[in-house]
Amino acid sequence: MATPKRIVVIGGVACGPKAAARARRLDPDTEITIIERGRMLSYAGCGMPYCVAGDIEDCRQLNYTPVGVPRDAVFFRNVKNVTVLDRTLAQQIDRENKTVEVVHIETGEYRTIPYDKLVLATGGLPFMPPIEGIRLNRVFRMHQPEDAVAMRDYIRSGQPKRAVIIGGGLIGLEMTEALARNNLHVTVIEMLPHILPGLLDVESAAFLTKYVRSLGVDIRAGEQVARIVGDDQGNVQKVVTAHGDEFPADLVLVAVGVRPNTKLAQDAGLEVSKFGIVVNEHLQTSDPDIYAGGDCVANRHLITGDLVFVPMGSTANKHGRVIGDNVLGGDERFPGVLGTAVLKVFDYNVGKTGLTEQQARDAGYDVVTALAPSPDCAHYYPTHKLVFIKLIADRETGKLLGIQALGPGEAVKRVDVMAAALTFGATAEDLTRVDLGYAPPYSTAIDIAAHAANIIRNKMDGTAQSISPLTVKEKLDRGDEFVWLDVRSPSEYEEMRIEDPRVKLIPLGLLRRRVDELPKDAEIITFCKISLRGYEAQRILEGEGFENVWFMDGGVMAWPYEVYTKPAGG
Amino acid sequence: MATPKRIVVIGGVACGPKAAARARRLDPDTEITIIERGRMLSYAGCGMPYCVAGDIEDCRQLNYTPVGVPRDAVFFRNVKNVTVLDRTLAQQIDRENKTVEVVHIETGEYRTIPYDKLVLATGGLPFMPPIEGIRLNRVFRMHQPEDAVAMRDYIRSGQPKRAVIIGGGLIGLEMTEALARNNLHVTVIEMLPHILPGLLDVESAAFLTKYVRSLGVDIRAGEQVARIVGDDQGNVQKVVTAHGDEFPADLVLVAVGVRPNTKLAQDAGLEVSKFGIVVNEHLQTSDPDIYAGGDCVANRHLITGDLVFVPMGSTANKHGRVIGDNVLGGDERFPGVLGTAVLKVFDYNVGKTGLTEQQARDAGYDVVTALAPSPDCAHYYPTHKLVFIKLIADRETGKLLGIQALGPGEAVKRVDVMAAALTFGATAEDLTRVDLGYAPPYSTAIDIAAHAANIIRNKMDGTAQSISPLTVKEKLDRGDEFVWLDVRSPSEYEEMRIEDPRVKLIPLGLLRRRVDELPKDAEIITFCKISLRGYEAQRILEGEGFENVWFMDGGVMAWPYEVYTKPAGG
């Protein structure tokens, strides 16, 4: 292929500038132009919550290179030899004549820019649901650095005391921390049954919800916002749910998601799905001279093979490099994504990759799961902290499908390891064999991700028979009879326990001796703190001839409902 | 296969008890016996440095379960239904009659224990080199918890002020921190040319050495200990090197490595290599009724296919589970190891997996490497810290061979991700595509491991032409002429710089304009802080027609030699 003379990129954040810079490094001569609505390029949108939180003192840092140079048109000219048309909107693509019609936002001047290869990096648009009052003053969204600065200025005025966040997804929760750390009382209203839907399953979401509530945040899942009410100044006053509950608010953040910005592509007659612009593995649209990447495109999910909309800065940057090569005739491929997401929620690290159990079931898998709350490093090492792991695999093949990891401990490492494993189609068995780094400050001898994979394997070969806490709850609600065998020590029981008449305490070390106390024909559900001992108890009882024994996945630590905890100092 | 009636395990730490416990969970009836020299089983040997350091107040925790139950014979009887013959030495294996002869250490009583399946988990033995004075008082080794307790008691007496550690390997460095944190002056003497030989290459070791020295530790690499000298009480007084240097010492730690304890296997006529007992993928020795695992066996290196001796608690535990299955007729396999190692050295996290560059060259690979010192998360996020990454790949195929990651930042996550990638034979290209978790507190949009993989790819396709700092040093030593082009900003240059007349400062943003200042025919070596801009400069100059341009791998941050740093407050 002859080198194209003119490469035009629409969109100056993440994918677009990355594609431009890569193309320039590969070819010193091609003419490269970026069309960008704003003045700054390549700003770090993901940093906005930390700007509001106050972690980043100078929000302009989001626009700067690591050595403090603003990423504006001058920078791109001097360093990258790339022309930036800033404050400029792309209006229309003329595919036949290979031109883009643009308008300057301030002067209103129109121009027609010719291209040989065009790159669409038009990003995402925050979804603003059609709720009454959504245009009131002090109803924010978090789309670009200006939004973060405006919210921060308002917070620093000292006026707002109560915030309502509509949407308990990733941005909603990052912003919950940001606002709470500014001493605002925060209410999160999530329409779906639990927070972080799509990232977490019920049990992991319950684990996180318990924690966030313990910090004074009001989490309302399964509730829908009916309207936002303002005062006579047009300032927000309260949020009203469909149930009629009212939440006073000096500040509202709408964070119900983002949609791919596909208008330009659609108008140009390119193939577009509801997940974004449709591209092939080369990130080429249905017009071979037009590439697209970043939040505006549909990605292929590497596990299900389905098209998905998963806008991520990391993916956008990967896209940019691939496109930078391919507009110059390269053969780079971007096979797809795993839907990986990580976030910090106060002092919890939260992450997910692959499919949740729900997503896996929806995709038709017969799944086997492990709930493994575990210390993130050697239990005798003083900084060890808990990580709640949920691992999901295909029951038939043992192929891993996804992980959720969260807690005060090192969860993100396990998510990244799983992302690597999932990329290569690893099975639970494969994961147990990976030679992960072991030293007491970093892990347990068998890393907790591998431990979870061993649980999966034990379940697959029938050694481990478990019951999900959700199923136990259903049995409780039905009034089923069973022995709920807690095999922890009396002192652990004193500290924390599930209070129910079915619970019977026999410490594991005494179980073999006291086995006669248990009725042979009863259903027995064993558990401990995390259900390692619960599993051991299940095996002991089966060895003793019991036939209806299950250990409860994840033990007390993963029990998503009420747990008695001894009052501090009590 | 009929279930064996009697399983006998020799060795009560890591692999042995794991095999026993796993076998018991699979079979409630088999008779299982562990023969152990000590009184405690399953102690956490890797925790010893933290016991000496004072991180672990009660060293008995190394012997306890997470809920505080000592792992002794009573525990194994009650919980695992496993018989432990403690304080007992296995003397001899009679393979024909399938018995083990044992002797009780305290009573001297002999017994003969019959087995159907035997498991050798005899561990490693610390190597004590034949140095004069090595048996003096206060010359320690770090083999079992008693060693840690004895050293700690001595330290707490307040007497020792100066320590010499012989051996700059993993244990030597963990113990350096432990002793320094007890306010001892520490000298580390390593025979090989740099610390952590086998784990790090020259540049990464230099990076770590600079840091450890900055904390007041005296590191002497490439020096051999000639003798240890004591006083008339038989207490250690000083260590003398082959060069004649003398290091006063109130305490000496010998940490020159461990050897597989293969005597019993060897005496029994089993196949043994210098890397340990030879086993197949099922961890079966040359006698199909005898299995072996843990530090006493030779492992297969997954990349080279060679036998290696890499004693690790993690591997031993994996072995235990595999053996627990296979002694009962299972078909579990343990394919091998990657030589992964991680350790904490003061506030640096240090890790490695796969091959070092040196090991890869020794194995016959034509390698391509990347040196990428990078912030571990978004540069605008306040907790970002540096990680020095060295990535090694096969030049022909791009197949990844190994990584070294170290620094104050999150290095271990990258090592574990690489361990997963190496397990599946990933290429550099594969690594760049992994959907790793991205959020500002955890990573950069393109994770630093993927960034290093991109450098490898750029080098493979000829876009990036780099020169190693070691080669630059050779050129300096030879007196070669070249332009050493620093493309950082003047303020960065003020803070820290390489002082050499060849250095010329042209900030990257001015390079296109000031390109005429550079002689077209000169050799130009570009660099910046980490050589991202150095690479950009190389591409710019090549675009301008320069033909002999290289960027220096890793920039100033990876320059292993003298760097001028502006005095604090100066």
| Helix pair angle (A532-543, B15-26), 10° resolution | 50
DSSP SS3 for A180? helix
Per-residue pLDDT of B123-160, as tens digits, reads 999 999 999 999 999 999 999 899 999 999 999 999 99
Per-residue pLDDT of B194-222, as tens digits, reads 999 999 999 999 999 999 999 999 999 99
Say yes or no to pLDDT of B1 above 80: no
Alpha-carbon torsion (A372, A176, B441, B566), positive or negative = negative
Confidence category of residue B569, pLDDT binned at 50, 70, 90: low
State residue B60's pLDDT score.
86
Nearest to B337 among A337, A424, A435 (CB): A435
Say yes or no to pLDDT of B58 above 90: no
Instruction: Looking at the complex, report in whole angstroms how far the Cα of residue B263 sits from the nearest Cα belonging to chain A.
Output: 26
State residue B155's pLDDT score.
97
Per-residue tokens: B286? 């040359």
Q: Within a 10 A sphere around the Cβ of A451, how many other Cβ atoms?
A: 20
DSSP symbol at A530? S
Q: How far apart are CA A530 and CA A164, in angstroms?
A: 35
Q: Note if A296 is an active site residue.
A: no
Alpha-carbon torsion (A457, A462, A463, A469), positive or negative = positive
Q: How far apart are CA B481 and CA B556, in angstroms?
A: 19
Mean pLDDT of chain B: 96
Instruction: Looking at the complex, report in whole angstroms how far the Cα of residue A526 sits from the nearest Cα belonging to chain B.
Output: 15
Whose CA is closest to A494, among A386, A385, A567? A567
Spatial contact of B332 and B282, defined as CB atoms under 8 Å apart: yes
Say yes or no to pLDDT of A568 above 90: no
Spell out the alpha helix ranges (H) of B41-135.
Answer: 48-53, 73-80
CB contact under 8 A, A314 and B445: yes
Per-residue tokens: A285? 């649209």
Confidence category of residue B339, pLDDT binned at 50, 70, 90: very high
Catalytic residues of B: 46
Give bridge partners of residue B494 from the DSSP assignment: none
Instruction: Looking at the complex, report in whole angstroms how far the Cα of residue A92 sits from the nearest Cα belonging to chain B.
Output: 30
Q: Within a 10 A sphere around the Cβ of B32, how many other Cβ atoms?
A: 26
Maximum pairwise Cα distance, chain A: 89
CB < 8 Å to A341, chain B = 437, 439
Structure-token match 């390119």, residue found: A270
Confidence category of residue A60, pLDDT binned at 50, 70, 90: confident
> Which DSSP string do the residues of A203-261 spell out, in sequence order?
HHHHHHHHHHHHTT-EEEET--EEEEEE-TTSBEEEEEETT--EEE-SEEEE-S-EEE-
Nearest to A420 among B50, B79, B420 (CB): B420
> Which DSSP string do the residues of B190-259 spell out, in sequence order?
ESSSSSSBTTB-HHHHHHHHHHHHHTT-EEEET--EEEEEE-TTSBEEEEEETT--EEE-SEEEE-S-EE
| Helix pair angle (A412-423, B412-423), 10° resolution | 20
| Helix pair angle (A15-26, B532-543), 10° resolution | 50
Nearest to A67 among B340, B489, B513 (CB): B489
For residues A86, A87, A93, A94, the Cα torsion angle rounded to the nearest 10 degrees is: -80
Say yes or no to pLDDT of A40 above 90: no
Optimal mutation site among B27, B374, B435, interface A, most CBs of chain A within 10 A: B435
Nearest to A416 among B174, B417, B441 (CB): B417
Q: Within a 10 A sphere around the Cβ of A237, how many other Cβ atoms?
A: 18
CB < 8 Å to A28, chain B = 539-540, 542-544
CB < 8 Å to A382, chain B = 55-56
Per-residue pLDDT of B458-469, as tens digits, reads 999 999 999 999
CB contact under 8 A, B28 and A543: yes
Say yes or no to pLDDT of B9 above 70: yes
DSSP SS3 for A558? helix
CB < 8 Å to A416, chain B = 413, 416-417, 434, 436-437, 447
Spatial contact of A139 and A29, defined as CB atoms under 8 Å apart: no
Confidence category of residue A1, pLDDT binned at 50, 70, 90: low
Confidence category of residue A148, pLDDT binned at 50, 70, 90: very high
State residue B346's pLDDT score.
98
Per-residue pLDDT of B278-328, as tens digits, reads 999 999 999 999 999 999 999 999 999 999 999 999 999 999 999 999 999
Q: Within a 10 A sphere around the Cβ of B230, how many other Cβ atoms?
A: 19
CB contact under 8 A, B435 and A446: no
State residue A3's pLDDT score.
74
Helix (H) or strand (E) segment spanning residue B172:
helix B170-180
Least confident among A319-323, B35-39, B424-428:
B35-39
ipTM score of complex: 0.97
Which domains are present in chain B?
6-45+55-124+259-326 (3.50.50.60), 139-256 (3.50.50.60), 347-460 (3.50.50.60), 466-565 (3.40.250.10)
Helix (H) or strand (E) segment spanning residue B324:
helix B313-326
Give, in degrees to the nearest 5, the angle at Cα B52 between B47 and B58: 70
Say yes or no to pLDDT of A491 above 90: yes
CB contact under 8 A, A416 and B413: yes
DSSP SS3 for B300? strand
Q: What Cα–Cα distance (Å) separates residue A308 from each residue in A126, B155, B541?
A: 17, 60, 42
Q: How far apart are CA B175 and CA B52, in angstroms?
A: 8
Spell out the alpha helix ranges (H) of A386-527.
Answer: 412-423, 428-433, 448-460, 469-478, 490-495, 508-514
CB contact under 8 A, A419 and B441: no
Stated length of chain B? 570
CA-nearest residue of chain B to A411?
A: B413
CB contact under 8 A, B380 and A508: no
Q: Within a 10 A sphere around the Cβ of A112, how many other Cβ atoms?
A: 12
Say yes or no to pLDDT of A570 above 80: no
Q: Measure CA A361 to chain center.
A: 19
Determine whether B226 is exposed, middle or buried from the number of CB atoms within 10 Å of its CB (0-12, 13-18, 19+). Answer: middle
Q: How far apart are CA B527 and CA B411, in angstroms?
A: 23
Per-residue pLDDT of B498-508, as tens digits, reads 999 999 999 99
Helix (H) or strand (E) segment spanning residue B496:
strand B496-497
Q: How far apart are CA A310 and CA A417, in angstroms?
A: 20
Per-residue tokens: A7? 């490469």
Mean pLDDT of chain A: 96
Per-residue pLDDT of B530-567, as tens digits, reads 999 999 999 999 999 999 999 999 999 999 998 999 98
The type of residue at B279 is: V
DSSP SS3 for B357? helix
Distance between the two ends of chain A, CA-based, in angstroms?
77
Nearest to A446 among B317, B432, B512 (CB): B317
| Helix pair angle (B313-326, B15-26), 10° resolution | 30
CA-nearest residue of chain A to B458?
A: A26
Q: What Cα–Cα distance (Å) separates residue A153 from each residue in A48, A52, A142, A307, A492?
A: 13, 9, 14, 39, 48
CB < 8 Å to B67, chain A = 488-489, 492, 529
Per-residue pLDDT of A246-268, as tens digits, reads 999 999 999 999 999 999 999 99
Strands B225-230, B236-241: pairing is antiparallel
Confidence category of residue A534, pLDDT binned at 50, 70, 90: very high
Long-range contacts of residues A304-307, Cβ cutoff 8 Å, at least 24 apart: A304/A355, A304/A359, A304/A363, A306/A363, A307/A273, A307/A275, A307/A276, A307/A278
How many contacts does A have with B, using Cβ atoms within 8 A?
280
DSSP symbol at B400? E
Q: How far apart are CA B339 and CA B402, in angstroms?
A: 10
State residue B355's pLDDT score.
98
CB contact under 8 A, A416 and B430: no
Say yes or no to pLDDT of B53 above 80: yes
State residue B255's pLDDT score.
97
Nearest to B421 among A28, A420, A488 (CB): A420
Q: Within a 10 A sphere around the Cβ of B471, how many other Cβ atoms?
A: 14
The type of residue at B567 is: P
Q: Is the model more confident about A567 or about A336?
A: A336
Q: How far apart are CA B245 and CA A96, in angstroms?
A: 81
- Residue B373 dihedral angles phi and psi, to the nearest 5°: -75, 125
Say yes or no to pLDDT of A2 above 90: no
Mean pLDDT of B239-254: 97
DSSP symbol at B567? P
CB < 8 Å to B82, chain A = none
From edge to edge, which strands make up the β-sheet containing A139-140? A139-140, A251-254, A162-166, A185-190, A218-221
